[in-house]
A and B are shown apart, each in its own frame.
Chain A
Amino acid sequence: MFSGALIAAVSAYAWLSVDLVSGHVYEHDAIPYWNALVRFGFFILTAFLVATRRRTEIELAAARDRAQQANRAKSAFLAGVSHELRTPLNAIIGYSELLAEEAQAAGNTARERDLERIRRAGHHLLSLINNILDMAKIEAGKLEVSRERFAIWEAIEDVTGIAELLVRKRGNKLTVDCPEDIGEIVSDEIRLRQVLLNLLGNAAKFTEKGSITLTVGRIADDPGRISFVVADDGVGMDEGQLAKLFKPFTQFHQQNRSTMVGSGLGLAISRRLCDLLGGTINVESTPGKGTRVSVVLPAE
């Protein structure tokens, strides 16, 4: 580009001072020519700058396309692998449950604890795989929710049954406060269960010998919205931890433990799900006092 400008400038000078046909050199009043030359120079310079900038833009767009393509390939790969992992896992979980049911029917309790451990480890692995699958879908913009009418109280009863086991593990007490006549909601039942189980699981992880409560109700001045509040009196979080809370792959150390548990994706996924369901999720926490997470969803 620069050499092109140089050639243009040299040939312009030659044209100005030499008669190309005869080869005679004429005397000119130089000023108008210099004026033209300077303008021409500016033109070349501008063209050069525009061309350089355009080339940078094209390169950037190509790099962006490559990155997007790589990200899509990663998401597709994760989705595929996660699905393949679930099939054998379904057999492991299913057969451990079958064996436990057969043993119970036969009155044989000798292997009950071992079978329960296999089952629990299987469910843990399944939830990690499901989280990775969900995160891949979020990144690909493909996470979707369905809408259908279901009874809130029944869904909460289901969630409580599963959460009870989680919560009891660390000596915590679970209290559920949900009016039986709360009525129905139009939402995604599977996803609502997922969000609530995630919040209850987190509360149980960061609370020891404490109390965890799930409070469900219609908002007093807006009965068209339902609130689900999970509160604990566990270790709580400071401002810095709160700020990072919803970022994917963020994990905090558990009390008295150096290992991390979980994929670090639960809250990032929960927030996205609340968005998709047309609701909100908010966290308040005081270090040493506990944490309160409230999810508000539209009833219709």
Chain B
Amino acid sequence: MTKILIAEDDEDSLDMLSRRLKLQGFDVVTAATGSDAIAVAVSEKPDVVVMDLNMPDMTGWEATRKIKADPATKAIPVIALSAHATSGDHDEAHEAGCDAFETKPVDLNRLLKRIKELTGA
């Protein structure tokens, strides 16, 4: 079963997205902060990370950079999730090493398509 790590600080968004992905048959693990996301990525070895970019303690960009810098986790694809659809976010996410970029509110079909492309599942 494909394991997805969702890193998201907003409680509603985290609850909603994890329930929707579980409903689609994924194994979901969560993290509420950027530093948490790095720790869970190491311990749980997810197949893909869905990363909110705007988190308080450590932004999604920084967390992605760290995940991509660690040999143990750098192969895990990261899908960036941003509330602003601005190209600034988009470009920065690419620079940080994100493999794909999606905007909020999540278009579930697009997100599923990205997950499928990135995990080959």
- Residues of chain A touching chain B, judged by Cβ–Cβ distance below 8 Å, are 83, 86-87, 89-91, 93-95, 97-98, 101-102, 105, 122, 126, 130, 137, 144-146, 148, 158, 161, 188, 190
Contact B23 A86 (CB under 8 A): no
List residues of chain B with CB within 8 A of the CB of A122.
105
List residues of chain B with CB within 8 A of the CB of A97.
20, 108
A91 to B104, CA, bound (A): 10
Per-residue CB contact flags for chain B residues 65-86 toward chain A (1 = under 8 Å, else 0) read 0000000000000000001111
Contact B16 A101 (CB under 8 A): no
Total residue contacts A-B, CB cutoff 8 A = 54
A122 to B106, CA, bound (A): 13
What are 13 A-B contacts defined by CB distance under 8 Å?
A86-B83, A86-B104, A87-B10, A89-B105, A91-B16, A94-B16, A130-B85, A144-B86, A144-B88, A145-B87, A148-B94, A158-B110, A188-B87
Question: B69 → chain A, closest Cβ, in Å?
Answer: 23
Question: B92 → chain A, closest Cβ, in Å?
Answer: 10
List residues of chain B with CB within 8 A of the CB of A146.
87, 90-91
The answer to whether B28 has its CB under 8 Å from any CB of chain A is no
Question: B82 → chain A, closest Cβ, in Å?
Answer: 11
Q: For the complex, would chain A's binding face be called helix, strand, loop or mixed by DSSP majority?
A: helix
- Residues of chain B touching chain A, judged by Cβ–Cβ distance below 8 Å, are 10, 12-13, 16-17, 19-20, 23, 83-88, 90-91, 94, 103-106, 108-110
Interface hub of A90, A95, A126, A161 (most chain B Cβ within 10 A): A90
A249 to B12, CA, bound (A): 34
Contact A90 B19 (CB under 8 A): no
User: Can you name the residue of chain A whose Cβ is closest to the Cβ of B88?
Assistant: A144
A148 to B95, CA, bound (A): 13
Q: A90-B104, A98-B16, A101-B20 are in contact. Are A190 and B110 (CB under 8 A)?
A: no
Interface hub of A94, A95, A122, A161 (most chain B Cβ within 10 A): A94
Question: B83 → chain A, closest Cβ, in Å?
Answer: 6
Question: A161 → chain B, closest Cβ, in Å?
Answer: 8
Contact B87 A126 (CB under 8 A): no
List residues of chain A with CB within 8 A of the CB of B106.
94
Contact A93 B10 (CB under 8 A): no
Contact check: which of A98, A144, A161, A190 meets B19 at CB < 8 Å?
A: A98
Contact check: which of A83, A91, A137, A190 meets B12 at CB < 8 Å?
A: A91
User: Can you name the residue of chain B whose Cβ is closest to the Cβ of A146?
Assistant: B87
Contact B20 A98 (CB under 8 A): yes
Contact check: which of A86, A95, A158, A190 meets B16 at CB < 8 Å?
A: A95
A236 to B103, CA, bound (A): 34
Contact B105 A94 (CB under 8 A): yes
A148 to B23, CA, bound (A): 32
List residues of chain A with CB within 8 A of the CB of B103.
190
Contact B91 A93 (CB under 8 A): no
A274 to B59, CA, bound (A): 32
Contact B105 A101 (CB under 8 A): no
User: Can you name the residue of chain B whose Cβ is closest to the Cβ of A79?
Assistant: B84
A137 to B87, CA, bound (A): 12
User: Can you name the residue of chain B whose Cβ is closest to the Cβ of A145?
Assistant: B87
Interface hub of B10, B17, B20 (most chain A Cβ within 10 A): B20
